[in-house]
Structure 1
């Protein structure tokens, strides 16, 4: 739709609708097949966590969902259409991407970096919302206090939060975030995942690559565990985070325990001297003198 000669805006997805889908997705990097037949959907109103060890294909899957990597086989749909059918400006109205790291060649002020997220909306009816969108994104990520500082003068964690603010300012209904907590302290890790939950509650589809299984269990509606380029399991973390599977995928003995107050599953590495108390399925048979502390 066009209003007064300007580009229109995409309709908001219906709650629970699959806004991004991978169907039979295979991706090759050089001679290596990194993704080997992945089927996955990102739904409006949900946080989907992609978890698994290094090299499992998490970042590659995120890049394929964002249309930054081509599929060797299969397809990716965004907003009901193959991603290749969208022109770049139209795609930018529908999905925003946070890479693992953000580099700037020039010392742009923080406020200008965040404002870059509004570029896709130029020429649309929502261009008038730029000031409010930038201010809200900077407040949410707690970067407004250094809006005038050059991006190049920030710490790694501060840069990560500014990059997230840029993504939030874009206000696309699909957020694709690659390890957004990697450079952050404990407070800001929690802040980022709360923002993910808030965006999902507002109707966005959020896909986030995480290494911290505790964060995934606490904040994600669904978790897809990747293993050697395939999805080993996909479902609510409380149902799919089992010690046996996580031990196999990570090649490290893991036990899964319920949080004593919330019941959220906690994945804990088994260290030397502790292995006798862990059953073959990776759950704890005896811990701190109490039997039966196993995850649901």
Structure 2
């Protein structure tokens, strides 16, 4: 049997190629079911938003998709192979994960933190792209101006942008982003999701956990709605972001209105005035 070398550079996917599949994923930790029946399919060239209330299982599912948490039951396949069958280094060349909290104990300069994203490519032909990958990622996230500053001295929003730049510098065909806009101001929320759209337009796939339903509607091709650890809806934005469904899942009535210029849904909590 021919063995694949972990030094090999993965072939880039073509638009529409199925990159990641999760079927009936269940995760039980300490006797508690964190995921009960989560399903997801991700193809190259799309942005998929994971939505749902607190405790729905969004971040947990993202960790399972990244290979950081093995599921108790169900199947996860990356590019047609079981996720568990990918060696750690090979996995790092297929997918990049942005966790919810970016913390470092040592005061590395921000530029060095971004360069850490290139570690999986050491010893491969792609290592020659390191400088360009780092510079491009820092420019895209507008953090080149503080490249020499210690990561620990940055504001929360600046840290979030450096952490995203590290993920972008990894140059994998699959990006898994956990609440990348949470610590950011309005301008940088838009910037981050514009970058996500650009990566999808270039043929990559992006799975992003978001709490802002209107942002998801503006930037995602498809949304997956989770509740109590299970997938309750999966489809185009306009089909899933419906008032009765969202009201039931979030436990609060909402209004869904068309944006006056773009027509994309605006999701607002219904308030008594």
Q: TM-score, normalised by structure 1?
A: 0.89
Q: Return 230-239 or 130-139, whichever deviates more.
A: 230-239
RMSD: 1.4
Larger Rg: 1
Task: Tell me what 1:155 maps to.
Answer: 155
Q: Is the aligned partner of 1:129 residue 2:125? A: no
Separation in 1, partners of 2:30, 2:46: 33
Q: Which residue is 1:237 aligned to?
A: 237
- Cα offset for 1:32? 1.2
Q: Is contact 1:19–1:42 with CA below 8 Å preserved after alignment?
A: yes
Specify the SS of the correspondent of 2:102.
Answer: coil
Larger mean Cα displacement after TM superposition, 181-190 or 9-18: 9-18
Cα distance, 1:28 vs. partner? Answer: 1.3
Structure 1 position 257, deviation (Å): 0.6
Correspondence for 2:175? 175
Moved over 4 A (4+): none
In structure 1, C-alpha distance between the alignment counterparts of 2:243 and 2:233, rounded to whole Å = 13
Between stretches 76-85 and 188-197, larger displacement belongs to 76-85
| Map of 1:205 onto structure 2 | 205
Bigger relative contact order, structure 1 or 2, given CA contacts below 8 A and separation 6+? 2
Corresponding position: 1:96 with 2:96: yes
| Secondary structure of the corresponding residue to residue 10 of structure 2 | coil
- SS of 2:149's equivalent in the other structure is coil
Give the equivalent residue in structure 1 for 2:58: 58
- Matched-pair contact (CA < 8 Å) for 1:93–1:172: yes
Residues of 1 paired with 2:163 and 2:99: CA distance? 9
- The alpha carbon displacement at 1:128 in A equals 0.6
- Checking the alignment, whether the CA contact within 8 Å between 2:6 and 2:90 is kept in structure 1 is no
User: In the TM superposition, what is the alpha-carbon distance from 1:22 to its structure 2 partner?
Assistant: 0.3
Q: Matched residues in 2 for 1:108 and 1:39: separation?
A: 38
Cα gap change, 1:6 to 1:209, in 2 (>3 Å): closer
- Equivalents in 2 of 1:6, 1:250: separation in Å? 44
For 1:15 and 1:80, the matched residues in 2 are separated by 16
C-alpha displacement at 1:29, in angstroms? Answer: 2.1
Separation of aligned partners in 1, 2:160 and 2:6: 33
Q: Alignment length, in residue pairs? A: 271
Of residues 21-30 and 164-173 in structure 1, the stretch that sits farther from structure 2 once superposed is 21-30
Q: Structure 2 stretches of 5 or more lacking a match?
A: none
The separation in 1 between residues aligned to 2:48 and 2:206, in whole angstroms, is 6
